[in-house]
Chains A and B, each alone.
Chain A
Amino acid sequence: MYRLFAPVPPPATFVACSGCDVCALSCPVWQQTHDLRLTPKGRALALQGGAAATEIVESLAACVMCGSCVPACPEQIDLVSMTLSLRADLAAAGVSPLSPLAASFAPPGEHSSPANVHLKTVLLAEDRLLASPSLLAAATLRLGGPAHVVVAADSGRDVSARMEAGLTVPQARLERFLDGLRGALRVVTTEGFISRFVRKWLPGTPVRTLGEACLALPETRRALRPTDLYVVEARGYNADRERLVAVYDALRHETGCDISLDLQRLAIPTAAKALNTRLGIGPVKSAEQVRWILEGRHPRRIVVENLEDGEAFRRERGVEVVHVATLGA
């Protein structure tokens, strides 16, 4: 029989993996190791073969959570969730190499009370942005000015780190973090890993990256040049790729600038923000990612959405690096 009105299938799991390797094409771990065991496919097929999380510790620890595998997967398996769930198994078994660092991120003080964010933009700013008053002011201005923007006192960095390591986030801590976001007109993030979760936790609240928010302004786009390389914050982009691919395609078309996307239009990460990269464990080296992003490209200026990415480029290349929030100012 023809299936004219097929029922909506349940979300695909590792069982659906056909081993096509498409996830590997954009995977930075594959790019640097050429070892398929360390890719999402390697993990999915290991599970299909009956392996437990504790048998694939190296693979689980290697992932930098860039999320490029999720939009790439033709079976639409949520490979990030799969890997996080397996990391949770490792943490529960007490063998997670990422747990110690994640647990060291302290939540903000209990006394900080959430600001009134009703109908305002909440900016979840990374530490480096918070430490740079001038850049923070520029970002605030880009988002509508101080009257319309609240810089979250609780950026959720500990929540993000624990999630990335597969550790449980205490419900009370999660609620306190979300209380600072509820009622907001939109949430703007500078680091995309947490954005995929905020989107799930607060359905109905638009979650945008700082890059996208800045690029919505014509003066920002006008300041981009064809000789620029625009470095997308990979985790945020890949988590919302179906929508953002059109935004960045239009940007490329309008400005002529090069963008750190691959041929599948997936964002290539520097992996600078990844927990394992910061710990110095796992095979992915930021410097190598930067080298790959720049291979065959000769930009006169590099525009970043994320300051950690900016640092990674500054270390490797003597090219001017600027933050997107400073463009058109």
Chain B
Amino acid sequence: MLFNPASSRTTGATAVRDGGAPPPVEPPPRGVIPPDPVSADSLFGVPRQQTNPSRWSGENWGAFAAALRADGVELREDRATKSAFVTDAGGLSLGAPHGVVIARSAAKVAAVLRAAQRFRVPVTTRGGGLTTEGETVAFGGLALDMTGMSRVKRVDREAMTARVEAGIFWHSLAEVLRRQGLDYISAPLNFTSSVGGTLAVGGIDVNACKWGCSADQCVAMEVVTPTGDVVECSESRNPQLFERVLLGYGQFGVVTEATLRIRPYTPCRMHYLFYDDLRACIGDLQEVVNSDATDYSGILTMKDRANNLLFAFDSDDRERAFFDKVRPRLRGLTETQFALRTAAFYALRPWQLPEALWLYRRKKLLLPEFERPEHLRDGKLLDRTVVFSRAVWRHWGNRTMVIPDLSTNAAKFADAVLEGNRVMRKYFKAYTLYCVAIRLFGKRDRYELSCMPPDAEGWGYGCEFEPMFKAGEFSRDYLQSFKNAIYDVGLRYGGSYYRFGGAMKGYIRRMFGDELVDRHLAMKRAADPAMILNPDVVF
């Protein structure tokens, strides 16, 4: 059991209790091919064990829909509604739900999951839908749109926490908190990520070097279990469930509310150092992280000849201390020094002039986005998430996106990124690498079978490999081949991935090993007997 019902606040209902035993699943009639036990997205040559039919074909949908409506749940089956759920931010996995429910309360979510268990109908939860591997795409069954639960329920200035409904976008939370001089601590640099979705996968910010992942800012949650119990959990209350739902990729429950740590709002002063050598840049990132002297840090590259180490501070004192003690040890150049060195490099290699011009054009296009005066005051960045998110969507966003990644411990990171960069160069002319450090807080259960590298101590390091899609058109097979090549690098270095689910789940057993995956699968089966909740994501 992942939680103790006796110590939980529940709706008093449990899974199959209301509706009796689940109806037996009839074997297919002779001559009918049963659902393929290996998903359509399986990777060539990758052995895998599939525990669910890869695609559900609609058994019991009518009875399920009738049961939901009888329970007062608004179910939408019209084309216009379902169209919004056919893909995710990746745009490569395409599916269609049979119907959509907008979550409005934990009780209604519980009713949905109880009926889903009873009728064995898959339920795919979705917040911002910012997955890239189809993790939030319903391949049939029900799409549960969590953004219907988007309120800030209370802000506790004494405890410095905010209680929110889990479908809320981080940006919407920021809008409320900023009016009170407060801010969330750590969230993805994408303002349409939802809180619940982020807690389920981790959530990495440029301040993860200081605060860890977003999931580590969560102090309590209200979770609806796959069998329809509404349970409050935290480190002290139903801790097993708490640890499994955080970074659990939606396998062990639907987060309906979360209590998050918050902090006083501070603008931050950004600094940039420039490198023409990626390894040196990574080395300096690690120097900065180990010094614990900055509040934000990360690497953004434009190809591997123009690498940018960014770091920022919430206070002037820390900034001064950094420049006194740490900056002298860093090899990075100022913008002017870097421009001169780059100009000299390309002057000696005139045949690479197109690349030089492209870099110059990207710089002219991108930098003003980060320096818009309405988001700066006295040299400090007022709204870093707005600035970064707008730039990300405007310059990297597309109807098709793949962002394969890898994470390793500190010692392996530079080698892994450089190898990944070689893959990147082979596949794309224009691309970006985004590297960050993630502080780890000991060996928490939540880090198991997650993006956190299993052998990391202190900090894990992650790198995203982002092609510039607006620079060309690529086929699905080409992109899949690229993703596999990056994931193979991660595999060789014994690390982990942020986006290992959905279309990439063929790597899960190879990365984590059968023992760990089987243990999680057993927990999943116990928690979700009909295996209906986010069924095609991990197992």
Which parts of B120-160 form the interface with A (CB within 8 Å)? 128-129, 145, 147-151
Chain B residues contacting A51 (CB-CB under 8 Å) are: 79-80, 83
> Which residues of A are found within 8 Å of B471, using beta-carbon distances?
2-3
B79 touches A74 (CB 8 A): no
The interface centre, meaning the residue of B80, B150, B175 with most chain A CB atoms within 10 A of its CB, is: B80
Q: Is the CB of A18 within 8 A of B179?
A: no
Residue A48 at the chain B interface, CB threshold 8 Å:
yes
Chain A residues near B430: list those with CB within 8 A. 2
Is there an interface contact between A20 and B80, defined as CB atoms closer than 8 Å?
Answer: no
Could you tell me which residues of chain A, from 233 to 266, have a CB within 8 Å of some CB in chain B? 245-246, 249, 253, 262-265
How many angstroms from the CA of A75 to the CA of B394 in the assembled complex? 7
Known: A34-B147, A37-B84. A263 touches B386 (CB 8 A): yes
Q: Is A25 an interface residue (CB 8 A)?
A: yes
Contact with A along B64-96 (1 / 0, CB 8 A): 000000000000001111111011010100000
Q: Shortest Cβ distance from B474 into chain A, in angstroms? A: 14
B residues 394-434 near A (Cβ < 8 Å) are 394, 397-399, 401, 429-430
**Which of B81, B151, B180 is close to A37, meaning CB atoms less than 8 Å apart?**
B81
Set of chain A residues within 8 Å of B390, measured between Cβ atoms: 22, 74, 264
Interface centre among A17, A21, A36, A245 (most CB of B within 10 A): A21
Pairwise interchain contact A296-B179, C-beta atoms closer than 8 A? yes
Contact B192 A296 (CB under 8 A): no
Nearest CB on B from A158, distance (A): 31
Binary interface profile of B, 429-451, with partner A (CB < 8 Å = 1, else 0)? 11000000000000000000000
List the A side residues contacting B145 at CB < 8 Å. 36
Check: A131 CB closer than 8 A to any chain B CB: no
Beta-carbon contact of B91 and A18 below 8 Å: yes
Q: Does A84 contact B (CB under 8 A)?
A: no
Quick check: is B377 within 8 A (CB to CB) of the other chain?
yes
In the bound complex, do residue A20 and residue B83 qualify as a contact, i.e. CB atoms below 8 Å apart?
no
CB of A295 closer than 8 Å to a CB of B:
yes
A75–B393 alpha-carbon span in the complex (Å): 8
For residue A42, CB closer than 8 A to chain B, the reply is yes
Residue of B nearest to A43 (CB): B80
Q: A25-B191, A56-B80 are in contact. Are A2 and B179 (CB under 8 A)?
A: no
Residue of A1, A55, A253, A262 touching B80 (CB-CB under 8 A)? A55
In the complex, B373 has a CB within 8 A of chain A: yes
B415 CB to closest chain A CB (Å) equals 28
Segment from B164-172, B252-260, B511-519, B521-529 that makes contact with A: B164-172
With both beta carbons as reference points, the residue of chain B lying nearest to A4 in the complex is identified as: B357
A35 vs B178: C-alpha distance when bound (angstroms)? 24
Please indicate the chain A residues that have their CB under 8 angstroms from the CB of B26 in the complex.
none
Minimum distance in angstroms from B160 CB to a CB of chain A: 16
User: Which residues in A have their C-beta under 8 angstroms from that of B180?
Assistant: 296
Which of A19, A56, A246 has the largest number of chain B CB atoms within 10 A? A19
Task: Tally A-B pairs: CB < 8 A.
Answer: 120
**Is B24 an interface residue, CB under 8 A from the partner?**
no
Docked complex: A28-48 residues within 8 A CB-CB of B: 34-37, 41-42, 45-46, 48
Check: B176 CB closer than 8 A to any chain A CB.
yes
Judge whether A10 is part of the interface by a CB distance below 8 angstroms.
no
| CB closest residue in chain A, given B83 | A49
Are the CB atoms of A264 and B386 closer together than 8 Å? yes
User: Taking the complex as formed, is A222 at the interface, i.e. its CB lies under 8 A from any CB of chain B?
Assistant: no
Q: Is the CB of B175 within 8 A of A19?
A: no
A318 on interface, CB distance cutoff 8 Å: no
Given the known inter-chain contacts A2-B354, A249-B374, please indicate yes or no for A35 contacting B129, CB distance below 8 A: no
A-chain residues with CB within 8 Å of residue B383 when the two chains form the complex: 263-264
Partner of B167 from A34, A41, A48, A296 at Cβ < 8 Å: A34
Contact B361 A4 (CB under 8 A): yes
- With both beta carbons as reference points, the residue of chain A lying nearest to B86 in the complex is identified as A49
Q: Please name the residue on chain B nearest to A249 by beta carbon.
A: B374
* Of listed B174, B354, B389, B393, residue having the most chain A CB within 10 A: B393
A residues less than 8 Å from B488 (CB atoms): none
Given A20-B192, A296-B179, 5 more contacts at CB 8 Å?
Answer: A20-B397, A21-B128, A45-B84, A263-B175, A265-B375
The interface of chain A, by Cβ under 8 A from chain B, is 1-4, 16-22, 24-25, 34-37, 41-42, 45-46, 48-51, 55-56, 59, 74-75, 245-246, 249, 253, 262-265, 295-297
Q: Which 4 A-B pairs have the closest CB atoms?
A: A49-B83, A296-B179, A74-B393, A46-B80
Subset of 21 A-B contacts with CB under 8 Å: A1-B354, A2-B471, A3-B358, A3-B471, A20-B192, A21-B128, A22-B192, A22-B389, A34-B149, A35-B102, A42-B84, A45-B84, A49-B83, A50-B83, A55-B79, A74-B397, A246-B373, A262-B175, A295-B176, A296-B176, A296-B179
B residues in contact (CB < 8 Å) with A: 78-84, 86-87, 89, 91, 102, 128-129, 145, 147-151, 167, 169, 171-172, 174-176, 178-180, 191-192, 354-355, 357-358, 361, 373-375, 377, 383, 386, 389-390, 393-394, 397-399, 401, 429-430, 471
